[in-house]
Amino acid sequence: MAARVYHLAVDAHDLPLLARFWSAVLDWKVLFEDAEEIVIGADESAWPGMCFLPVPEGKTVKNRLHIDLASDDRDTEVERLIGLGARRADVGQDPDATWVVLEDPNTPDYQF
């Protein structure tokens, strides 16, 4: 049997903020929560989940992993995610790009 993705581990300063954000984005729920870890997922038996872990240091370099999302109505979904706290980001994409880059509320200078 090959390995499967169990969790995406996400370093964060504000675990509850990010767990609530991603739960709303994906229509998932909190499966486990304490001061050192919050796990979200579709349900207890569905893989993968996301695990938010505290880190004291700030982000200093570009993320080496990002999450690509898909929707039947990109523009409506982008507006919904912005309403949840995401922000548009410019990573050098062309104005006619068919995709949109958003930052989540874990961005260091983010004000919620």
Tens digits of residue pLDDT in 2-17: 899 999 999 988 899 9
**Shared domain check, 77 and 43:** no
Tell me whether residue 45 is in a domain.
Answer: yes
Q: How confident is the model at residue 109 (pLDDT cuts 50, 70, 90)?
A: low
The helix (run of H) or strand (run of E) holding residue 112 is none
- Residue 58: predicted pLDDT: 73
**CA dist 37 → 30, 76, 83 (Å):** 11, 32, 25
- Residue 104: predicted pLDDT: 87
**Shared domain check, 81 and 46:** no
- Residue 95: predicted pLDDT: 86
Query: Cβ contacts of residue 38 below 8 Å, gap of 6+?
Result: 15, 16, 18, 19, 30, 32, 51, 52
Which of residues 99 and 59 earns the better pLDDT score? 99
Helix 15-26, helix 74-84: angle, nearest 10: 160
Question: What is the domain count for the chain?
Answer: 2
Tell me whether residue 65 is in a domain.
Answer: no
- What would the pLDDT profile of 40-94 be if each residue is shown by its tens digit? 999 999 999 999 999 887 777 777 778 899 999 999 999 999 999 999 998 889 9
- Residue 112: predicted pLDDT: 35
Amino acid found at 1: M
**Shared domain check, 18 and 45:** yes
- What would the pLDDT profile of 55-64 be if each residue is shown by its tens digit? 887 777 777 7
- Domain with 77 in it: 70-105
CATH of residue 23's domain is: 3.30.720
